[in-house]
Amino acid sequence: MDYLKFKSGTDVRGTAVNGDFTPEVAANIAAAFAFVFDCKKVAVGRDSRITGPQICDAVTDALIGCGCQVFDCGLCSTPSMFMMTQYPSIKADGAIMITASHHPYDKNGMKFFLADGGLSSAKLTSVLEAANKGERKVGSGLKFTDDYLSLYCKHIRDIILSRLPGGLNGYKIVVDAGNGAGGFFADRILRPLGADVDGSQFLEPDGMFPSHVPNPEDKAAMDSISARVIDTKADFGIIFDTDVDRSAVVTASGAELNRNRLIAAISAVLLSERQGGIIVTDSVTSDGLHKFIEAKGGEHIRYKRGYRNVIEFSQKLNAEGRYSPLAIETSGHAALKENYFLDDGAYLAVRLLIEAVKLKERNKTLEDLISDLEEPLECAEVRLKLVGDDWKEQGNKILSDLEEYAKKHFSLASDSYEGVRVNTEYGWFMARMSVHDPIIPVNIESNYRGGVKKMAEILANFLKVYLSDLSAFEKLF
């Protein structure tokens, strides 16, 4: 078996229900991870997926057979796994999270951490190549089982108390965990600080995800928590993805702060604390967000999609002496310099919650914080399917030809690091290759009524030579 086929960006992912991502496959990859990085102490945890317990047991057994001390964390969040490499009482050499984020119930995968952060794409490749060779250490290790999540909960509570010494007494907060791993946030972080979390929903882990897709980008998920905040007359709402490395928030009025609005809110908070910071985002952020960040005294750089891409670029800027406090994607992945550059949905939510509490004391909300954000009149995203074994070559050919076409008829954005971003009289559109799948996502944004339709027609007319299925555009015509 070629283990490289399970590589998805900087994660491992595959079909675990009636598929080839089996417990044995995960165990062999885990053993290769311990071999490549000479890990002596490894933390292992999982989200709520139905295949999680079996895969977690196989991974733990494999690491014990490699001579590792294994900290079995059970059900936990991805950020809490990284923190196992930081706690003085643990200091794990590495950590493995069994998760497939927001993907369907039949998928599962692995995320890897060392003490300096998540694995880069190149480092993950080295692990999978070692798995192909069957490389592993041999020894007799030990397993330790405890409530290690309590360490993370205390860590987050302490952060809240450092900025809100009075805690959250009298504050009503709705948490939506989407039946993933994030239910602890309500009962073990917010409630002990005095918050009323009784209106929270979908806190029970259920790997079939019966309530809604656990994804802060999903419209149904955001509609659900927005309605819950309004119905319960809550002050604030927080929604997580399955493994709690992404989040979005909702204000008391039910206003959703995700995607560009989420980036604007946390950027405003950080830039109010220190001017001149460089905010690194993924490539599909809006022109209005760009203006907003600059107006707040920051600099905005659009980089490539993929959470490790934006994190590594922001880290590079800091290493060069250029202050960059935030790397964030519209998906809700946000990594702050002050927090190990860890993409931690709980930490992001806490930073915004703290700001919301302080604003409430002045009879203001997070909506006031981003009131200057110009939002497009129209926006849309379509996903064009590529077919055949040569889909990567096909996709790259389409983008290359689109770039030449745009040069002749429109203007190319000068700050684009991936794909093709085109400025037109109607607004802008961007086409790029998906990080993981045989898909060309196309984002379109306009400040003119009918502008999205005009640009969709331009794109469809260009693409008809290359693709037989353009049905994704039909909803825009």
With a cut of 90, say whether residue 434 has pLDDT above it: no
Strand 247-251 and strand 69-75: the pairing is unpaired
Question: Please, which residues bridge with residue 82 across strands?
Answer: none
What does the pLDDT read at residue 73? 99
Phi, psi angles (nearest 5°) of residue 413 = -65, 135
Segment (H or E) for 322: none
User: Quick check: helix, strand or coil at residue 190?
Assistant: helix
Nearest residue to 242 (alpha-carbon basis) of 212, 278, 269: 212
Q: How buried is residue 332: exposed, middle or buried, by Cβ count under 10 Å (0-12/13-18/19+)?
A: buried
Contact call for residues 12 and 103 (beta carbons, < 8 A) = no
Domain boundary assignment for the chain: 3-146, 152-369, 378-476
**Tokens representing 70?**
């294994």
CATH number of 152-369: 3.40.120.10
pLDDT beyond 80 at 436: no
- List the CATH code of the domain at 3-146: 3.40.120.10
| Confidence label for 148 from pLDDT (cuts 50, 70 and 90) | very high
Helix, strand or coil for residue 83? helix
Phi, psi of 204 (to 5 degrees): -75, 130
Q: Which CATH architecture has domain 378-476?
A: 2-Layer Sandwich (3.30)
Q: What does the mean pLDDT of the chain come to? A: 97
In sequence order, what are the beta bridge partners of 236? 173, 251
Residue 115 has pLDDT above 90, yes or no: yes
* CA-closest candidate to residue 79, choices 435, 296, 334: 334
| Contact assessment for residue 179 and residue 211, using Cβ atoms and an 8 Å cutoff | yes
Please say whether the dihedral angle defined by the alpha carbons of residues 7, 12, 15 and 16, taken in this order, is positive or negative: positive
For the chain, the distance separating the N- and C-terminal CA atoms, rounded to the nearest angstrom, is 45
User: Is the Cβ–Cβ distance between 328 and 342 less than 8 Å?
Assistant: no
* Cα 207 to Cα 475: distance, rounded to the nearest angstrom: 32
Strand partners, 256: 250
CA dihedral 414, 418, 424, 427 (to 10 degrees): -110
pLDDT at residue 235 in the model: 98
> What's the pLDDT score for residue 389?
86
Give the residue among 421, 413, 216 at the shortest CA–CA distance from 329.
216
CA proximity to 274, closest of 344, 343, 326, 222: 326
Place of tokens 């952020």: 285
Q: CA 307, 310, 312: angle at the middle one, nearest 5?
A: 100
Reduced to 3 states (helix: H, G, I; strand: E, B; else coil), residue 418 is coil
| Mutual angle of helices 287-295 and 259-273, in 10-degree steps | 10
- Tens-place pLDDT, residues 318-330: 999 999 999 999 9
The string of pLDDT tens digits covering residues 21-50 is 999 999 999 999 999 999 999 999 999 999
d(CA 311, CA 330): 13
Beta-strand relationship, 11-15 and 107-114? antiparallel
Check whether 414 has a pLDDT greater than 90.
no
Confirm if 16 and 53 have CB atoms less than 8 A apart.
Answer: no
pLDDT of residue 475: 87
pLDDT of 6 reads 97
152-369 and 378-476 agree in CATH topology: no
pLDDT greater than 80 at residue 251: yes
In whole angstroms, what separates CA 395 from the centre of its chain? 24
332 φ, ψ (degrees, to nearest 5): 105, 0
| Residues forming a β-bridge with 176 | 201, 239
- CB-CB contact of 181 with 214 (8 Å): no
Tens digit of each residue's pLDDT (9 = 90 or more) over 349-380? 999 999 999 999 999 999 999 999 999 999 99
Is the pLDDT confidence value at 335 over 90? yes
Reading the block at residue 286, the tokens are 């809006």
Confidence tier at 303 by pLDDT (50, 70, 90): very high
The pair of structure tokens assigned to 130 is: 């070692």
CA 362 → CA 254, 278, 357, distances in Å?
A: 19, 28, 9
Whose tokens are 């918050």? That residue is 195
Q: Is residue 71 scored above 80 in pLDDT? A: yes
What's the mean pLDDT in 272-286? 96
DSSP single-letter state for residue 245: S
